[in-house]
Amino acid sequence: MIRLAKPGFFAPLLLAACGTPAVPSDPAPASASAPASAPASASASASAAAPVPASVPAPPSLSADEAATLLFPGDAPAAAACTEIDPRARIRCLIGKRYEGHASARATVLSLYEKTGSVVGVEEPYVMEGGFRGSIRIVPELPVGRYEKHLTWIAEASADFDAFFDGITARAKAGVHYRHRALSWKFFRSVGRTTPSAYASGWSIGYNVSGSLHGSAEAVRETLFHEIFHLNDAARLSGPEPWSRKKLGSIHDAILQKCSTKPSCLAPYAPMPTMVRGGTYYAFQPNNGDAVNEYGADLAARYYRETRAVLRGEKPIKPAFKCGPEENGRAWNILVDEFFGGVDLVPEC
């Protein structure tokens, strides 16, 4: 999906759109690193041995073969030039080969990989059937030259997400299981179009260098938080139905029953101001898959926006979403408890 950079700006713009995410193949939680297992303590009694602690799952990671496909889609001979046995060394080699001749971009991509385990490559060419957007031709576009600024914005967003989740985790009542690292970044350009700005599927983010939402670092940050939520949403529950449909569906359906697609009625319930040109708020836009998934992702982006301001000691964003209609507060609490360890730093209403 996509979002407006300025809070409170309600221009009726078509900013971009997410594709409905597939259930990721690797539903591992997104911690920056797996904590080391605590050593078993010897009991004071020789006959009472301490129980063996459960093993801690390894943090998510991309394989060298996945990185090769991402960096050299459809070009196996080029990827075969890197033959290192160690997977991380091979991935570094693949990045170096793909970004050969683009020293600054290569440095950014390598740094992002070392810090987060994420790899920046390209999307494969295809024609997207974009619902209300129609058919859109997608072509791969390496983020170099005039498009290199997008690499910088992604790297900055990744660092910001690390700081955000560090702050949340330190205050959490329960574990925060939210993957935002070890992602596949698939850069592309939509031919003759500025949509979709981004989409999410299978622990990968498609990023459009011509996306209408990608006008600033702030806009990119919030767009990416929205997209990364889609991945976590799809991975949260077993089965084909995302978490948002099961947990937020009744709230979203009741709002639509009350307002249909009328913007003036939906305005108090829209977590973000994003609107579709000639349509309604993105969180309630028809012919765009199950709109509750966009409602959930927009709600997560609103949580990020408001909570980030508190963590950074900035002026609280008003009005707080949870302080609107009672449906807003219910949805907010459900999301906060499930994805963010019950941490609600936004001042009470």
Which residue numbers in the chain have pLDDT < 50?
1-17, 19-55
3 state SS of 170: helix
pLDDT at 57: 62
Does the N-terminal peptide bond of residue 319 adopt cis geometry, omega within 30 degrees of 0? Answer: yes
pLDDT at 130: 73
CA distance 157 to 325: 31
Span 125-158, pLDDT tens digits: 999 987 777 899 999 999 999 999 999 999 999 9
pLDDT at 173: 84
> 111 and 96 in contact (C-beta within 8 Å)?
no
pLDDT at 77: 92
Domain boundaries, the chain: 64-339
pLDDT at 174: 85
> 147 and 141 in contact (C-beta within 8 Å)?
yes
pLDDT at 44: 35
CA distance 60 to 56: 12
> 66 and 42 in contact (C-beta within 8 Å)?
no
Find, among 188, 98, 105, 192, the residue nearest to 153 by Cα.
105
pLDDT at 17: 47
